[in-house]
Structure 1
Amino acid sequence: MEHLELFFKSIFVDNMVFATFLGMCSYLAVSKKVSTAVGLGAAVIFVMAITVPLNWLLDTYILKDGALVWLGEEYASYDLSFLSFIMFIATIATMVQLVEIIVEKFSPSLYNSLGIFLPLIAVNCAILGGSLFMQSREIQSVGLAFNYGVSSGIGWFLAILAIAAIREKIRYSNVPGPLRGLGITFIITGLMAIGFMSFGGMLTGGEEEAVEEKTAQVETIEEAKNLANNELEIKE
């Protein structure tokens, strides 16, 4: 249940583009054609699926305070969390180079159409944001970290695919002159963000019910305690 909830919340409610507006440079620049958007979106999913769990392992067993205890008790006080940014970016850059080699080998046309934006995935704030959000959420297992990486990548993929499909259609629409280009793209992005935010109520209802249930249990316990105290007072 935890995996499923994290998967859908990362795609729809906490979408990298529509909730936090990360990765907007590539989102706006490579969304003119659906074919190009699909290629870049798939590359982002691949990179995030690998880098988020790798960075979770780095953070859990090397970087955070006390993570080096597995080397011995004398290392238990070491805190290397100040190296988080450097290590995370190094992992991301390595994976991006791997993706670049694979795309160039198997799809030269896609490699040429992506141009400079393929190597720029290394400095795409959505990719780094996935690892940093994973760290701040205090995800407890590598499986959940992999889940979060894949679902966050899928969320970014859906965002760039949707805007690319819309931008292909509005080329033939009568858009007012001042809004053509990035103007209408920003407006559409805002409207889609509102649409994605509407999923929040659907996916957080269970949490509210759980809180209400716990509150009711606490109230029942309090009533039982008060009743017991009253009985003791009567006996005295």
Structure 2
Amino acid sequence: MAEYLLVIVSAVFVNNVVFARFLGICPYLGVSKKIDTALGMGFAVTFVMTLATAITYVLYYGVLVPFNIQFMQTVMYILVIASLVQLVEIVLKKVSKSLYSALGIYLPLITTNCAILGVALIAIQDKYSLVMSVVFAFFSAIGFILAIVIFAGIREKLEDADIPGPFKNVPIGLISAAILSLAFMGFSGLVK
């Protein structure tokens, strides 16, 4: 149980995919203008990341290792992730047209979200069991949601702030992201 707790705390705070591993930066910066859009993107990433890690784990140890074709790992993972994103896109189009249109171009970009591929690869690299891989993926996605929602909240407040001209929009966003990243570095001593 302690091992699971360490993986959870590490995935959410210490080795956060955005702040410590620098994965998923494109949606982090692109979709974080409004909290509701950021939450929608976060939930879509959570679904895809968790399911993709579970499926790729099974395929890695069920197909790639027995046939000694581990070199196909990245290609297979990308195909699984792309298929899952298509599924999410179809479901969102039917269930929530407003969220579907709010995510716009960023929904297909989940296919190339390096955080999803990175977490699936890290789970195999760190030799996690299937259950541990799923826990790691789910809580890495929770860490992604935490990062993107906090940043969206900051960006919403910055819209009303009196900011000097040269720092408006992207520059102040990047400065805020850097400060937020430094804040998360405070968790670095919790877990190795």
Map 1:164-203; keep pairs closer than 5 Å: 164-203=152-191
Shift of 1:202: 2.4
Shift of 1:98: 0.9
* % identical aligned pairs: 42
Aligned partner of 1:33 in structure 2 is: 34
Aligned partner of 2:92 in structure 1 is: 103
Which of structures 1 and 2 has the bigger CA Rg?
Answer: 1
Unaligned runs of 5+ in 1: 69-77, 205-236
Q: 1:113 aligns with which of 102, 105, 121?
A: 102
Aligned partner of 2:113 in structure 1 is: 124
Shift of 1:101: 0.9
Shift of 1:61: 2.1
What letter matches 2:70 in structure 1? S
Q: Which has the higher contact order (CA 8 A, sep 6+)?
A: 2
Aligned partner of 2:60 in structure 1 is: 59
Shift of 1:94: 1.0
Shift of 1:37: 0.5
Q: 2:136 aligns with which of 134, 148, 173?
A: 148
Q: Distance in 2 between matches of 1:42 and 1:158?
A: 11
Shift of 1:126: 0.8
What is the TM-score with the length of structure 1 in the denominator?
0.78
Paired residues in the alignment total 191
Q: Distance in 2 between matches of 1:201 and 1:79?
A: 39
- CA displacement 1:170-226 (0-9 Å, x = unmatched): 11111121111111111111111111121121234xxxxxxxxxxxxxxxxxxxxxx
- CA displacement 1:9-61 (0-9 Å, x = unmatched): 01111111111221111111111111100100000011111011111111122
Q: 1:160 aligns with which of 135, 148, 162?
A: 148
Q: 1:92 aligns with which of 81, 86, 92?
A: 81
Aligned partner of 1:210 in structure 2 is: none
Q: Distance in 2 between matches of 1:191 and 1:180?
A: 16
Q: Distance in 2 between matches of 1:138 and 1:182?
A: 39
Matched residue SS, 1:201:
coil
What is the TM-score with the length of structure 2 in the denominator?
0.96
Matched residue SS, 1:22:
coil
Aligned partner of 1:3 in structure 2 is: 4
